[in-house]
Amino acid sequence: MCMQTTVLTVTTGAREVVHDLTGPCRSFVRGLGDGLLHVFVPHATAGIAVLELGAGSDDDLLSALGDLLPADDRWRHRHGSPGHGRSHVMPALVPPGATLPVIGGELALGTWQSVALVDLNVDNATRSVRLSFLSG
């Protein structure tokens, strides 16, 4: 088995975001054959989700996370912007990684599925995302 890896730098800005990574993921695995793509964000306050993007789903996810994890003063972890502690809880709900099948050098996602970085932390505007392909 052989593993290939690269690191993407994603600028999320100073707002909560669901950032589409599908294009860079597809480009990375193109032509690599069969295997697995692992997408991992090495940050304590961000996650990776596989979901439909556009059509309001990304905004719905941010809204649901806002309902579950309000940006208020209830959090014990209190440095940074108000409610920053919720960003440290979010990866328990949106994990920091996802593993996806690759068939014939193509990402094997469903018709409406996309790969996204989910980031509620408005204090960190730049994220690294590691893509690792393990051939089969």
Per-residue model confidence as pLDDT tens digits over 112-131: 999 999 999 988 899 999 99
DSSP state of 80: S
| Helix (H) or strand (E) segment spanning residue 133 | strand 126-135
Distance between CA atoms of 75 and 42, rounded to whole angstroms?
22
DSSP state of 91: G
In the chain, domain spans: 3-135
CATH number of 3-135: 2.60.120.460
Average pLDDT, stretch 90-115? 97
Sign of CA dihedral 10, 45, 91, 70: negative
**Residues 19-47: b if buried by 16+ CB within 10 A, e if exposed:** bbbeebbbebbeebeebebbbbbebebbb
pLDDT of residue 83: 78
pLDDT of residue 75: 83
Structure token pair of residue 57: 């789903």
Per-residue model confidence as pLDDT tens digits over 19-67: 999 999 999 999 999 999 999 999 999 999 999 998 999 999 999 999 9
pLDDT of residue 2: 86
Q: Distances in Å between the alpha carbon of 10 and those of 108, 123, 124?
A: 23, 14, 11
**Residues 58-97: b if buried by 16+ CB within 10 A, e if exposed:** beebbeebeeebebeeebeeeeeeebbbbbbebbeebebe
pLDDT, greater one: 66 or 81: 66
